[in-house]
Amino acid sequence: MRIAHDANINWVEDMAVVQEYVRVDNKQWIMSKDMLVLDFATRRTA
């Protein structure tokens, strides 16, 4: 999942959410990886 390119979120240049799941006993899905990556930057606009 990613944020829209034109989203106006202060200081956030980019964001990504990564979630991976594995199947256990052919019955349930269990989360095996949960990662949030944020790219922060400050900008001055004229």
Structural domain contains residue 45? no
**At which residue do the structure tokens 């001055």 appear?**
44
User: In the predicted model, is pLDDT for residue 44 greater than 70?
Assistant: no
**What is the span of the domain harbouring residue 32?**
7-40
**CA separation, residue 45 to residues 5, 9, 20, 42 (Å):** 17, 15, 38, 10
Domain assignment of residue 2, yes or no: no
Pair 35, 18: CB distance under 8 Å:
yes
Given this model, what pLDDT does residue 42 score? Answer: 75
**37 three-class SS:** strand
Q: Does residue 21 belong to any structural domain of this protein?
A: yes
Q: How far apart are CA 18 and CA 24, in angstroms?
A: 20
Domain count, the chain: 1
Question: What is the tens place of the pLDDT at every residue in 20-31?
Answer: 999 999 999 999
Is 15 inside any structural domain? Answer: yes
Size (the chain), residues: 46
As given in the structure block, the two tokens for residue 42 are 């400050």
